[in-house]
Amino acid sequence: MICILLVAGHGTVLETQIKNDVTGLYGQLTGVPKALLPGIGGKKILDFWWETVNTRQLFSEVYLVTNADKYKHYERWATANDFPVENVVNDGSTTLEGRLGAVADLELAIHSRKLQDDIMVIAGDMLCADQNFDIAQVLSFFRSKPGELAIYYELEEGEKSSSRGIVEVCPETHRISRFLEKPQDGVTALRLASVVFYCLRKATLPYLSDFLTLQPQAQDRTFGRFWEWIINEQKLPVFGMKLPTGFQLIGQVGLSDYTKWLAHYSAQQQQCPAKPITCRSYARVGLMGNPSDGFNGKTIAMTISNFWAEVTLMESQTLVLLPHPLNDPTEFGSLQDLYCISRKEGSVYLGGLRLLQATCKKFYQFCSKQGIALTKQNFTLKYDTNIPRQVVMSATLKCLMKFYNITESDLPKPTRANFILNVETDELFITAGLQDRVVQVYEGLVYMDFSKQLMDEQGYGDYIPMDMSSLPPFWLAYLSDPSDSGRIHSNVRQRWLNGEAEVVEAMKSFAALTDQARVALQGMDWSRLAQLMDENFALRRSVYTEDCLGPGNLKMVQLARQFGSAAKLPGSGGAVVGLCLDQVRLVRLILSRLKQDCVSYFGHFILIVPYKWLIDAQAINCNSVI
């Protein structure tokens, strides 16, 4: 790969305004080529690009194309910055009117130096908001695609699409389907702007000559026109890669625009290192349809704020994953202490660090595959949780998205849920369903349809947030040592894959119950909802069998029924969620324990109680309390 930096523009507007500035603030910049003007952090604009591409492992040669008017400036710059002077190409132009045009300058460098390789071309007079993006990631993405590569970014507020080349990018293939060079206002709502930062294959270089033949005027020999021709007319495959940062060409801008964007980008840099980023993801309660989410069924679930996993990300010199003092023990009082902890909490073998590491790995892999170049910034991650550790992955992803400025359009919510599930199933081989990840991403009360047709056609289901403002007072009781999700599913999945009629029909019935529950929730028919919750549990009990569900789960449901409450498993086991329409006995019995225990609430509706309260309540004379 060969890199060519283009700095042959004449930039008469900016140069003239600097020369005529009456404030005296810019007198020292009179006559300075625009690529050698101060950039972010006081560094020359060209210095940044030279440091970025000055890597022998990535580029065999780097060339600089300038004009005759500024050639001596760049020759001196080359000498001072260990740039090979013989690689500075002079295009011979001395005025704006006599310019060759950007595409012609690139063609000149290729032919005059007889270059026979893939080419990366960058405008050397381009301000870049983020000084840390990874050029190696750009090359890796280019080599993974069967075509050319154009870098783009999302326009900031206030930037007009009419001043940029605008691209339309397929979100699945990342191929640019349309290129609009400085479209008039109102022509497009697209906000993805191409910049002079491209990779061209050796086989495509002859198209440069063909284009120049068609465009005899220098003002038409721009890269914007070239890509319009290549993409819209020649239909060559050109792919787009997004950099989560801003760019500003200062070729024909005035002094006010140059100083405005320099100040704007410099202010962004001064905010680094950023403040710590802390994100939480919450536990979920499956109200209906579970566990059919893993079987092309339908479910309704909601998040609860009492139980959460929290991740904090802090910028640091190296990437560090901090172990949790309880979940990732590395010190023990004695060999006997290690034995006892390991015997009681076997899951400490796995810990939470693997969840952080797997999420980070898959995040980098995802961004590379999706054409999103990340900045070269390191961080330290730490976590805390009062629920099963898998939820840490959702919170970690939130932190990474904020840290690397990954937007909702880069990683939409449905894709986010799939991402987290893939970390679990493909990377860590944890048995899991999509419901949990969807509701943790969307939060609140969510209806989810995982039908095979939807999953096959769009890669995700239909996820519809529902109103929580009028929910009835559900309650949740839990065991101190909940069952493991992977065990509770037993052999049902294999039976389903084998097409066993009982299991297939059961999953369809779960989906039907969910649709009925959605209607009941929307109509506030709590009696019907309670009935459906009981039916959901009965169906699960028949398919999974009592041996699989376990005595603890069965006992909790049995006790709830004794107090006239509907009840079902909200997840894979270890807890029950209930709805008691005539709550007098149950609620008063539970509240009678307030002097000795504590109660917590989530939202305005759901009472969280330890399972032992139900045991205590069973032993009390109900009539005397009521």
Residues recognised as catalytic? 436
Tokens of 514: 């969910």
Pairwise CA distance, residues 296 & 287, whole Å: 17
Q: What angle do CA 298, 428, 243 make, to 5 degrees?
A: 85
Q: Are 460 and 416 in contact (CB under 8 A)?
A: no
Pairwise CA distance, residues 255 & 251, whole Å: 11
The length of the chain is 626
Phi then psi for residue 544, to 5 deg, are: -90, -15
What are the CB-based long-range contacts (under 8 Å, 24+) for 140-147? 140/368, 141/239, 141/241, 141/368, 141/371, 141/373, 142/118, 142/199, 142/239, 142/241, 144/369, 145/174, 145/237, 145/239, 146/237, 147/175, 147/201, 147/236, 147/237, 147/238, 147/239
DSSP annotation string for 245-270: S-EEE-SS--HHHHHHHHHHHHHHHH
Q: Are 67 and 8 in contact (CB under 8 A)?
A: yes
Pairwise CA distance, residues 617 & 114, whole Å: 88
Phi then psi for residue 576, to 5 deg, are: -135, 145
Pairwise CA distance, residues 236 & 420, whole Å: 35
Tokens of 485: 């999700």
Q: Are 229 and 211 in contact (CB under 8 A)?
A: yes
Beta carbons within 8 Å of 343's beta carbon, 6+ residues apart: none
Pairwise CA distance, residues 613 & 563, whole Å: 13
Distances (CA, A) of 172 to 179, 423, 458: 17, 20, 11
Helix, strand or coil for residue 147? coil
Tokens of 234: 């020649």
Q: Are 582 and 547 in contact (CB under 8 A)?
A: no
Q: Are 332 and 341 in contact (CB under 8 A)?
A: yes
Pairwise CA distance, residues 118 & 4, whole Å: 11
Q: Are 149 and 241 in contact (CB under 8 A)?
A: yes
Tokens of 425: 């199933």
Pairwise CA distance, residues 466 & 367, whole Å: 31
Q: Are 204 and 148 in contact (CB under 8 A)?
A: yes
Strands 606-610, 474-478: parallel, antiparallel or unpaired by DSSP? Answer: parallel
- In eight-state DSSP terms, residue 610 is E
Q: Are 125 and 7 in contact (CB under 8 A)?
A: yes
